[in-house]
Amino acid sequence: MTRKKNRKGNVVFNKLQVRGFTLIEVIVVVAILGLASLALYPLILNSLETRSLDSEARKILSTLERTKFRAVKTKLNHRLHFYLQQGQWRYQVEVEETANNWQIVSDEVPQAIPAKFNVTINLPNRWIEFSPLGIVVNYDPQRNSIVLQSDRLQQASQPDIRRIWVYQGGSIRFVKEESGG
């Protein structure tokens, strides 16, 4: 816009010719955005897969810790029990009400591990049992881990394994690893 004064001395604004974008300019910008999003799409998918794998492993880790603290607090043996149901790994917290009589803890919802992950439960009897002292009752040094693995991250040569180690004293460790091939 430009300013001019009329005969009376008042300021009058004149509109300049406003020019828009041409169709070619719009098409070029859309094409550049499309190519950029196409190039970033695999990275976004891998990022989402990494977050999903980490989230699932941390969910198991926190459930293990909660189970241990629950055993100490209630002074009753508790365990995190893994089982295969309809081709999908699930886990639930259980309490030993009387000797060898296990009940599902009512305020803990059984969880499912997404089928897109390869799961290896390397535990004695597929559970971790904590005593009222927080010690792992069924500890086996050769069988003390839970492994989640993502094929998508393996194909992208990114850390594709999340391993949770459980030790006799009740310590729990979470590790990210990359498979060998």
What integer pLDDT is reported at residue 121 of this predicted model? 96
Reading the block at residue 120, the tokens are 């290896």
What integer pLDDT is reported at residue 42 of this predicted model? 81
Q: Does 26 fall in a domain? A: yes
Average pLDDT across each block of 10 residues of the chain; the chain has 181 residues. List them in order.
64 62 91 89 85 96 97 97 95 95 94 96 96 96 95 90 95 90 51
What integer pLDDT is reported at residue 132 of this predicted model? 97
Q: Does 11 fall in a domain? A: no
Q: Does 2 fall in a domain? A: no
The residue range of the domain holding 160 is: 21-177
**What pairing do the DSSP bridges indicate for beta strands 127-130 and 88-98?**
unpaired
Q: Does 7 fall in a domain? A: no
What integer pLDDT is reported at residue 3 of this predicted model? 60
| Angstrom distance (rounded) from CA 22 to CA 31 | 14
CATH number, position 71? 3.55.40.10
Rounded to the nearest 5 degrees, what angle is found at the Cα of 175, between the Cα atoms of 169 and 176?
A: 170
Provide the whole-model pTM. 0.78
Residues 6+ apart with CB under 8 A from 4: 11, 12, 13, 14
What integer pLDDT is reported at residue 126 of this predicted model? 95
Q: Using the structure block, give the residue that is written with the tokens 């990275």.
A: 43
Q: Does 15 fall in a domain? A: no
| Angstrom distance (rounded) from CA 111 to CA 95 | 16
What integer pLDDT is reported at residue 2 of this predicted model? 59
Number of structural domains the chain divides into: 1
Q: Does 112 fall in a domain? A: yes
Q: Does 126 fall in a domain? A: yes
